[in-house]
Structure 1
Amino acid sequence: MKIALMMENSQAAKNAVVLKQLTEVATERDHQVFNVGMSDEQDHHLTYIHLGIMASLLLNAKAVDFVVSGCGTGQGALLSLNLHPGVVCGYCIDPADAYLFAQINNGNALALPYAKGFGWGAELNVRFIFEKAFTGERGAGYPPERKEPQVRNAGILNQVKTSMLKGGCIDTLRALDQELVKTAVSGERFQQCFFEHCQDKEIEAYVRSVLG
């Protein structure tokens, strides 16, 4: 599995801590991690709005399989990512959230609240979240006897979202201010991950056109 970590301006100072825990957990499971957001407060400036655009491009182009995002409360990132087609983002405060989201909703992104309770032992909570998010069979249901309706409802929800958006990744992004999109895709590490692993030529051509 290829996992993208993306952090915005308000929580960029915590990137090293989060990246370390995610990388250690991912390495143990033979996953790859790409640090595509801000690595510190002096890095290419991003907001949680940009994170949604980045997640949409990476996931819809199959450049990555999963996105770990977040902001101060986690709510802005959650809303931003879920605006986009092909992105199913869950809100995650503790390891139980990560486990239940993987088992019940089987989404492809998480939003964490990096400014809430991020004190002593915060790195342990983050690590345990990642362990539960990336361990075991996804979509197995919880409790097991509820698997069938849970899987069915998760699929219906995804169909509802697709029907309401009535457009793919590119159509959605073209409706935005293109300078907003350009800022989102201008980071060096984002571009490296995207262009090296993109599996959709149409989305790749769109990103190149935005970058000029």
Structure 2
Amino acid sequence: MKIALIIENSQAAKSDIIHGALTSVVEPMGHDVFHYGMHTPEDRAHLTYPMNGILTGTLLNSGAADFVVTGCGTGMGSMLACNAMPGVFCGLVIDPTDAFLFSQINAGNAMALPFAKGFGWAAELNLQDCFRKFFENEPGLGYPKERAEVMAKNRNVLADLKKATCHDMLTVLKNADQDLVRTAVSGERFAEYFYPNSQDDEISAYLKAL
């Protein structure tokens, strides 16, 4: 699995802690982590949580990433921005129980975490436990197990509803504020990670033209 990490500007100073917690859990499972920034508070591209949403939608809809880990101070802004994008199903994950239930019930493709609220002593241990609880099991198996079929049906209903209410990602990129899009995809390692992994030639061509 290709897992993308996106960190909003207000929490960029914690980049190494978050990245370290994620890689320590998922890389031994065989997953690859691509850190799209921010890496430090001094990064040229200052990502806001609306930009997190644009970047998340771009990565998932192009196939450049299979899953996105993101967040902000409370996690809520990033969650809302991500869920505004087509094909993105992002859950707010605060503790390991959230992570487990989101995986088993919703089988989403992005999670948003609070990197300021409640981020105190041993915060990296909570992050590791959240990542472990999400990624250690096959998603969508249901909880409780006897409701798995109903939960799967509801996921499909929600996916169809999202298709009806959202434009495709290329249209979103074209219609959104172009300065916002340009900044969202201007991170120092975006081109290095995105273009070799993208499976959507139209999205790739449009972003290169920016």
TM-score (norm 2): 0.98
The Cα shift of 1:42 comes to: 0.6
Q: Deviations over 1:119-177 (max 9, x none)?
A: 11100000000001111111000000010111101110111111011x21011121111
Q: Hey, what's the Cα distance between the residues in 2 that align with 1:151 and 1:37?
A: 33
Report the residue type matching 1:25 in the other structure: V
Match of 2:109 in 1: 108
1:103-142, aligned counterparts within 5 Å? Answer: 103-142=104-143
Q: 2:35, 2:165 → 1: CA distance?
A: 31
The amino acid that maps onto 1:9 is N
What is the rounded CA distance, in whole Å, between the counterparts of 1:110 and 1:191 in structure 2?
A: 23
Partner residue of 2:14? Answer: 14
Cα shift at 1:115:
0.7
Structure 1: which 5+ residue stretches go unaligned?
Answer: none
Report what 2:2 is aligned to. 2
| SS at 2:119 equivalent | coil
Three-state SS of the structure 2 residue aligned to 1:188 is: coil
Correspondence for 1:196: 196
Q: Percent identity?
A: 52
In structure 2, C-alpha distance between the alignment counterparts of 1:153 and 1:76, rounded to whole Å: 25
Query: 2 CA distance for matches of 1:55 and 1:37?
Result: 12
Q: Aligned residue for 1:47?
A: 48
Aligned counterparts of 1:92 and 1:64: Cα–Cα separation in 2 = 19
Q: 1:63-212 residue pairs with structure 2 within 5 A? A: 63-165=64-166, 167-210=167-210
In the aligned structure 1, how far is the partner of 2:123 from the partner of 2:186? 30
Give, in whole Å, the separation in 2 of the partners of 1:104 and 1:45.
Answer: 34
Aligned residues: 209
Q: Which runs of no fewer than 5 residues in structure 2 stay unpaired? A: none
Deviations 1:53-75 (A, max 9, x none): 11111111101100000000111
Deviations 1:16-69 (A, max 9, x none): 001001011111101000110201111121101111111111111101100000
**Residue type of the partner of 1:100?**
L
Q: Give the letter aligned to residue 45 of structure 1.
A: H
Letter of the structure 1 residue corresponding to residue 32 of structure 2: Q
Q: RMSD over aligned Cα, in angstroms? A: 0.8
Amino acid at match of 1:139: G
SS at match of 1:111: strand
My pick for the range that moved more, 38-47 or 67-76, is: 38-47
**Offset at residue 114 of structure 1 (A):** 0.7
Distance in 2 (CA, whole Å) between partners of 1:133 and 1:40 is 26
Distance 1:135 1:193 in 2: 25
Paired AA for residue 70 in structure 1: G
